[in-house]
Structure 1
Amino acid sequence: MAAAFILHAGTVCVLTGAGISTESNLPDFRSSSGWWRKIDPKTVASVEALTNEYELFHSFYSARITALKQAEPNNGHDILAAWEAGELVQLTATQNVDGLHQRAGSQKTAELHGSLASFSCSVCHESAGKDAFLEGVGCRVCGGNLRPDVVLFGEPLPQEAWEKTFEAVRNADVLIVIGTSLEVAPANQIPRQTRGRKIYINKDRAGTWEDFDLILTGSAGSVLKQIDFWIQAVKQK
């Protein structure tokens, strides 16, 4: 049924969360083994941590960046990139900051929470390099602390990415939500912006699962592989 929804749609948008990257050996945030089960996010990933506890802030993001060096796009990322190339997907909006969609080849993306691929000064906003951040050196212009360009707790969301996403979702015939618990606003409002069909793919059901037309339980990569099998089978007829 999911394959039929996608093939018969004029426009398809995708929303992904951390669950799509767990198969790349990156932990999610709210599962039993997720980041936020081990540590209070506001102590390491907030404006307050950046300002008042920089050593802890730096240690946390250095660990995430180091883990990302070992990660590669998985089947889920690859399939979504292939669907985009085949004009089946018009936008992939992601809550992830790992850049794995882009590394898999997706070009029509919206990064709702920023990216770990770029860095800047927390004071003057001058751009900086990853190595400079990892080495813990100050800004080359003002000496301020460096940071990754991700959205911290207490910061506004990137308006351009969110406007792009809401516009695309409102006009979508199908919205596919993958690997997110939909517990955090405003991302949990995205599925309610479309009048099209909604597909939910996750290991666990979200609290708002009743809003979806189709719920597929399992790992993102395996479920997307099954859907892609039927899409390719129909195309070859």
Structure 2
Amino acid sequence: MKKHIVVLTGAGISAESGIKTFRDADGLWEGHDVMQIATPQGFAINPKLVLEFYNQRRKQLLEVLPNQAHLDLAKLEKAFKTTIITQNVDDLHERAGSTNVIHLHGELLKVRSTKNQNDIQTWTKNLVLGDTCKNGHQLRPHIVWFGEDVTMMDKAIEVCKTADVLIIIGTSMQVYPAASLMHYAPENTTIYFIDPKPNIESKTNLTVIAEKATVGVNKVIKLL
């Protein structure tokens, strides 16, 4: 039976493609307070601002390409059963060729009905007030905002429980609930942690690789 490689990715892997990490050091997202543009309350107060914020993110996403780390991870599928669990809302894993991707925090190129969270559709253009689902309800970004349930979390936990190897890339593992996922891997799972500024140290089954994603993923693949 093929080994199951589970990969957890965060903003660090997409940063090398030119996607800015949403949150700056001062906690602002592109000059906006998180509460304004990433909460249901912010959307209720100023939906136009929120839609425009994500329109800009969507436009930027369509201008960038997957980097070597995304491409190398996609190639893992040839030799191993591979599942990617990402905190990122971009589609760079899919564009690189990965076929088994779980998006914990939603997807930028999808929108959903404000009244039915299961009414989801692909969307690549600007989303404006007046764009509605088939039942006439306003559409919103298919993004998990602060205060909303991470609906894919249970699926991600079940995947982590079956990992033979866990690779963590470009995430500080500080954002919960995603940060708890590594603790669901079986006790003897081999773990690789790739980050240019790692906040943990190597131990028995955990190898820390203090590199950016493109370099670190290449190193891990050679070890596999």
The TM-score by the shorter chain falls in which range? 0.7 to 0.9
Matched, 1:45 2:43: no
Which residue of 2 is the match for residue 23 of structure 1? 16
Distance in 2 between the 1:13 and 1:174 partners?
6
Give the TM-score normalised by structure 1: 0.82
Matched, 1:102 2:94: yes
- Equivalences for 1:23-172 in 2 at 5 Å? 23-30=16-23, 32=25, 36=29, 38-87=31-80, 89-124=81-116, 126-127=119-120, 130=123, 133-139=126-132, 141=134, 143-158=136-151, 161-172=152-163
Q: Percent identity?
A: 31
Matched, 1:189 2:180: yes
Cα pair distance change 1:92/1:124, threshold 3 Å: closer
Distance in 2 between the 1:60 and 1:74 partners?
24
Q: Which amino acid aligns with 2:132?
A: C
Contact kept, 8 Å, 2:107 with 2:143, in 1: the verdict is yes
Q: Which amino acid aligns with 1:39?
A: H
Contact kept, 8 Å, 2:48 with 2:129, in 1: the verdict is no
Shift of 1:150: 1.2
Give the length in aligned residue pairs: 219
Q: Which amino acid aligns with 1:189?
A: S
3-state secondary structure, aligned to 2:163: coil
3-state secondary structure, aligned to 2:64: coil
Cα pair distance change 1:93/1:168, threshold 3 Å: same
Distance in 1 between the 2:83 and 2:120 partners?
27
Which residue of 2 is the match for residue 6 of structure 1? none
Residue-by-residue CA offset, 1:123-167 (whole Å, 9 max, x unaligned): 355545626753443315455432121111121111xx3222212
3-state secondary structure, aligned to 1:168: helix
3-state secondary structure, aligned to 2:159: helix
Which residue of 2 is the match for residue 11 of structure 1? 4
Residue-by-residue CA offset, 1:194-231 (whole Å, 9 max, x unaligned): 2212111012113x556771111121012212333x35
Distance in 2 between the 1:132 and 1:49 partners?
22
5+ long unaligned stretches in structure 1: 1-8
Contact kept, 8 Å, 2:27 with 2:34, in 1: the verdict is no
Give the TM-score normalised by structure 2: 0.86
3-state secondary structure, aligned to 1:66: helix
Contact kept, 8 Å, 1:200 with 1:209, in 2: the verdict is no
Contact kept, 8 Å, 2:88 with 2:105, in 1: the verdict is yes
Distance in 2 between the 1:199 and 1:35 partners?
30
Cα pair distance change 1:39/1:203, threshold 3 Å: farther
